[in-house]
Amino acid sequence: MDNLATLLRRVIRFALWFMFICAVIGMIFPDLRPYAFGLIVGTIASVISAWNLGSKTEKFTQQIIVNTKKRMGLGFTTRIFIVLIATIIAYRAPMVDLIGMVIGLTFVPLTTIVVGIFTNSKEY
């Protein structure tokens, strides 16, 4: 499970840099501010969702190793509610673009794929 934690830390670090860049762009270019805030809100929701999935996966793996018969899910409902809250924020707030939020939601999964590919190519 060490690789999952390391991968998640790297992805969260990239997400923080991405949100910082979006905030700077939003401050420099006032016309792009709603898109930048939408990207930030979507990326925050995506990071929270990925962190939740990572912790649930770690707990699930530990239960399998210990051979516990307790039934446990991976938090699909929680992740849906996180996305729903981000969508409500983007829909109600005039300074947050809904399309930017949706694009921000895809940042962490796409970054996870790219970082995972580069990490595996370095190991072999």
Q: For tokens 């390391």, name the residue.
A: 6
What is the rounded average pLDDT of the residues 87-94? 92
- CB contact burial 4-14 (16+ within 10 A = b; e otherwise): eeebbebbbeb
pLDDT band at 3 (very low <50, low <70, confident <90, very high): confident
pLDDT at 1 over 60: no
pLDDT for position 104: 95
pTM: 0.88
**pLDDT 10s digits, 28-75:** 999 999 999 999 999 999 999 999 998 888 888 888 888 777 777 778
